[in-house]
């Protein structure tokens, strides 16, 4: 039988958009269902203080796996949409290769792998804070710090040079792919593209992602709100202009928490 004719560029792009959109829809639906399941607590990092003491007698290893799986699902739903321009540029760059689907999967896997490493580090840091809270009386008397602190950090970071340097790299996906697609081992290069893009993505979004530990982690509504903000910043033509008002809003929010605490203690 004659070989199947390759899909025209428009059909390939349509197929890519359908598959990509289907993956995101699946991730959001899975989050919504998980949030309402008996294991919804594993999406909420506020519950990390009880790590290892699950009332349902779940092993520590299983609890750790559930937290990691929850984080990976959250980053898939929240951060993968921000990579659409990069993935589309890479898809076009490798459109004539027979292994193009495999290479694209490697880019996605390495990108999510970097975010998974960040999530593990953030979880460990959060566990340390919970441990400190149990032993430091001042923190127990001032729990508002855990709300105002991440907001203050995220708001201040919106005005940093590092934020804009990383954001600019994320907003130029075609140049990024061309710079990193240097030939040689295609699989290794694909992994490198996903990992490097993930590092720049963390560089511009890490402070906002840490808000997940302060403003309703485990809430699909908050995940959707933060994910939308980060997608606009990276993908929309006017997205860069969102950074300053967002930073101001976060700083005002942090100040409001601090002032409310001061007023309460008067």
Q: Which range among 10-19, 165-174, 196-205, 232-241 shows the weakest confidence by mean pLDDT?
A: 10-19
Instruction: Please check the confidence at residue 210 and state whether its pLDDT lies above 90.
Output: no
In tens, the pLDDT along 118-138 reads 988 887 887 787 778 788 888
Which position has the token pair 């939308």?
228
Q: How far is it, in rounded angstroms, from Cα 74 to Cα 79?
A: 8
Which among 176, 186, 200, 196 has a CA at the least distance from the CA of 89? 176
Q: What is the DSSP letter of 160?
A: S
| Runs of H (alpha helix) within the chain | 9-35, 60-79, 84-93, 100-135, 137-141, 145-157, 161-170, 173-180, 186-210, 220-235, 243-264
Structure tokens at 264: 């309460």
Structure tokens at 29: 């639906």
The pLDDT assigned to 44 comes to 66
Instruction: Please check the confidence at residue 197 and state whether its pLDDT lies above 90.
Output: yes
Q: Please provide the DSSP assignment of 221-255 as one string.
A: HHHHHHHHHHHHHHHSTTGGGGHHHHHHHHHHHHH
């Amino acid at each position: 039988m004659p070989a199947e004719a390759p899909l025209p560029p428009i059909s390939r792009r349509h197929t890519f958009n359908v598959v990509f959109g289907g993956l995101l829809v699946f991730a959001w639906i899975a989050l919504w269902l998980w949030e309402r399941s008996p294991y919804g607590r594993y999406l909420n990092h506020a519950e990390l203080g009880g790590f290892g003491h699950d009332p349902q007698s779940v092993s520590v290893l299983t609890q750790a796996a559930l937290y990691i799986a929850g984080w990976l699902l959250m980053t898939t739903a929240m951060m993968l949409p921000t990579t659409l321009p990069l993935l589309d540029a890479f898809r076009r760059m490798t459109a004539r290769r027979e292994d193009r689907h495999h290479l694209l999967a490697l880019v996605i896997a390495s990108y999510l792998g970097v975010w998974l490493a960040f999530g593990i580090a953030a979880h460990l840091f959060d566990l340390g804070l919970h441990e400190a809270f149990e032993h430091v009386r001042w923190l127990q008397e001032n729990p508002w710090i855990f709300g105002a602190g991440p907001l203050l950090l995220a708001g201040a970071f919106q005005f940093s040079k590092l934020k804009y340097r990383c954001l600019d790299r994320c907003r130029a996906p075609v140049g990024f792919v061309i710079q990193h697609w240097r030939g040689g081992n295609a699989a290794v290069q694909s992994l490198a593209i996903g990992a490097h893009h993930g590092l720049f993505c963390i560089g511009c979004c890490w402070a906002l992602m840490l808000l997940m530990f302060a403003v309703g982690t485990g809430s699909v509504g908050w995940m959707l709100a933060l994910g939308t903000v980060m997608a606009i910043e990276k993908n929309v033509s006017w997205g860069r202009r969102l950074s300053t008002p967002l930073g101001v809003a976060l700083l005002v929010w942090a100040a409001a928490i601090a002032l409310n605490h001061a007023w309460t203690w008067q």
